[in-house]
Amino acid sequence: MANETRVLAKFAADLREEDVPVHVRRLATNLLVDQLGCAIGGVKTPWGAQVRATVSRAGGVPDATVIYFGDKLPAGSAALINSTFGHSYEYDDLNGLAHGHPGAELIPALLAIAEREHICGRDFLTALVVAYEVRGCIGWAVSPDLFEIGGPQFSTSCGPFGAAVGVARLLGLDADGIHNALGIAGTFSGGLMQYDQGGGSVKRIFTGVGASSGIQSAELARAGMTGPEGILEGARGLLRIYTRAYKPERLLPHAAGKWIFERIQFKPYCCCGIIHPSIDGLKKIISEQKLTADDIASITIRNPSGFHDHATITAPHDMLGMQFSTSYSLALTALRGGNTPREYTLDALADPAIKAFASRVTVEEGTELNKICEGHFSAHIKVCTNSGAVHEQLVIDAKGSVAVPLTDEDIDNKFRSQAEEHLGSANCEALLRMLRDIDGIPDVGKLFTLLAAKEIAEPGTAQT
């Protein structure tokens, strides 16, 4: 088949609310709750303050609201800031088929436009499903190549397309208009992955690049700008340039046999998703064998090819590096009992005990896992104790994955753990109720009455 980009555009234009199964809409609501919880939790990070200060300085038409602070900025600016907040702790969603962090790419962009255009919650949620499915097809079509090649990164290469489609849908563009938005979005597709080798806080804006450039693409399409034919499948399109194996059939809606949304994963740990099965495996071994950190002589982690070198930073020098370090993350599991924002701190990074434990962790490529773990974030964990005992676990599906999902209650509690501190308990619960009833909200902008704090800091003030 040819013209896959046009097929996706027609799908995006034609999908009706009643075409979306109830359980998919529930997953979309869960994603909204999870992403906004992550965004609220990230409002006081240094990198969040840096992005807010820089972007706010340009000013512009006050169309959309910055979460917590209440600044009114152009939609693209607000989306960039809010997306950075939502991706601030590596705590946001992922997808084993589509990869990247679709929620942090899509939701800030769609919220900004929905607020500006006074879109009802029901239409917002349908647009989110449309955008997620298109973004998911594109991500799947370039998988696993981008991991194996080492980039470009999924949120910056695929995110602009998904955000462009969702925004175009909210703006009322037809199939031709959405096709042009996709073509224009190809101009913004890219993003190097050196962060998983050398750290750097700039990775925090990767989802924001997808969100803000998606808005720009859709706005330009609405203004009449056109994009090239075949931006995804063409001779110089995304799949020909960024992949080694040309798989245009994956671009077709439901080509995976189900909704891409059904492969969503919600994170219980705020680190690279590839580390999660190793954390689960180590926790199980420690619990079953009643081990302490001092009992452990060495740990060997084996990951499938393509994933094995995505989280192997051995000497992190910043927070991002620690969150992409399997060894440091497992040290937190063993020594501090958790892998939430409370454990990933600069204090932990400088702790000699954490560093010493991390030095006993080795990460290897496990080619034997490639077949049995295809389509999963998986790990084989081997723990050798000082007494000479060896304990092993194979974790194919980590907690939070499709096979071991977080419940609605788990996601609500994760939201509370991040939002209560910043919004207060009463506002947190009121906002959570409103999010859970998103289908019944007549104007998505009403969410922002509960998303602003009582005390507002000046842009550029890092409060950590």
Domain end call among 233, 265, 297: 265
Provide the residue type at 346 as one letter. L
Residue 458 pLDDT greater than 60, yes or no = no
Residue 74 pLDDT greater than 80, yes or no = yes
Specify whether 93 is located in the same domain as 121: yes
Looking at every residue in the chain, the average pLDDT score rounds to 94
Q: Could you give the CA distance from residue 281 to residue 302 in angstroms, rounded to a whole number?
A: 12
The CA distances from residue 71 to 78, 115, 427, 435, 449, in Å, are 8, 13, 19, 21, 12
Q: What is the pLDDT of residues 286-345, one digit of tens each?
A: 999 999 999 999 999 999 987 778 888 999 999 999 999 999 999 999 999 999 999 999
Residue 327, in any domain of the structure: yes
Specify whether 317 is located in the same domain as 340: yes
Q: 166 CB contacts (<8 Å, ≥6 apart)?
A: 106, 109, 110, 127, 128, 130, 131, 132, 214
Q: What is the pLDDT of residue 161?
A: 98
Residue 338, in any domain of the structure: yes
Q: How far is CA 255 from the centre of its chain?
A: 22
Q: What is the pLDDT of residues 338-378, one digit of tens each?
A: 999 999 999 999 999 999 999 999 999 999 988 887 778 89
Specify whether 259 is located in the same domain as 389: no
Residue 133, in any domain of the structure: yes
Give the pair of three-digit tokens for residue 444: 């998505």
217 or 455, greater pLDDT:
217
**DSSP bridge pairs for 68:** 452
Q: What is the pLDDT of residue 292?
A: 97
Residue with tokens 């999924």: 154
Specify whether 253 is located in the same domain as 278: no
Q: What is the pLDDT of residue 149?
A: 87
Q: Could you give the CA distance from residue 104 to residue 99 in angstroms, rounded to a whole number?
A: 12
Q: What is the pLDDT of residue 96?
A: 87
Q: With bands split at pLDDT 50, 70 and 90, how would you rate the model's confidence at 31?
A: very high
Whole-number percent of the chain with pLDDT over 90? 88
Specify whether 230 is located in the same domain as 292: no
Provide mean pLDDT across the span 228-252: 96
Specify whether 229 is located in the same domain as 282: no
Specify whether 185 is located in the same domain as 290: no
CATH number at residue 378: 3.30.1330.120
Residue 462 pLDDT greater than 60, yes or no = no
Residue 446, in any domain of the structure: no
Residue with tokens 């955000």: 163
Is the distance from CB of 77 to CB of 52 less than 8 angstroms? Answer: no
Residue 408, in any domain of the structure: no
Q: What is the pLDDT of residue 464?
A: 38
Specify whether 165 is located in the same domain as 142: yes
* Number of folded domains that form the chain: 2
Residue numbers of the domain that contains 330: 273-395
Q: What is the pLDDT of residue 1?
A: 65
Q: What is the pLDDT of residues 78-107, one digit of tens each?
A: 999 999 999 999 999 999 899 999 999 999
Q: 61 CB contacts (<8 Å, ≥6 apart)?
A: 74
Specify whether 280 is located in the same domain as 241: no
The pairing of beta strand 390-395 with beta strand 379-385: antiparallel
Residue 428 pLDDT greater than 50, yes or no = yes
Selection from 13, 49, 28 nearest residue 264 by Cα: 28
Provide mean pLDDT across the span 116-141: 98
Q: 41 CB contacts (<8 Å, ≥6 apart)?
A: 88, 89, 91, 341, 417, 418, 419, 422
Q: Could you give the CA distance from residue 80 to residue 74 in angstroms, rounded to a whole number?
A: 10
Specify whether 190 is located in the same domain as 303: no
Provide the residue type at 425 as one letter. S
The CA distances from residue 241 to 161, 214, 246, in Å, are 16, 20, 10
CATH number at residue 185: 1.10.4100.10
Give the pair of three-digit tokens for residue 203: 């990775």
Specify whether 164 is located in the same domain as 256: yes
Provide mean pLDDT across the span 113-122: 98
Q: What is the pLDDT of residue 395?
A: 96
Between 50-59, 307-316, 438-447, the lowest mean confidence (pLDDT) is in: 307-316
Q: With bands split at pLDDT 50, 70 and 90, how would you rate the model's confidence at 459?
A: low
Residue 257 pLDDT greater than 90, yes or no = no
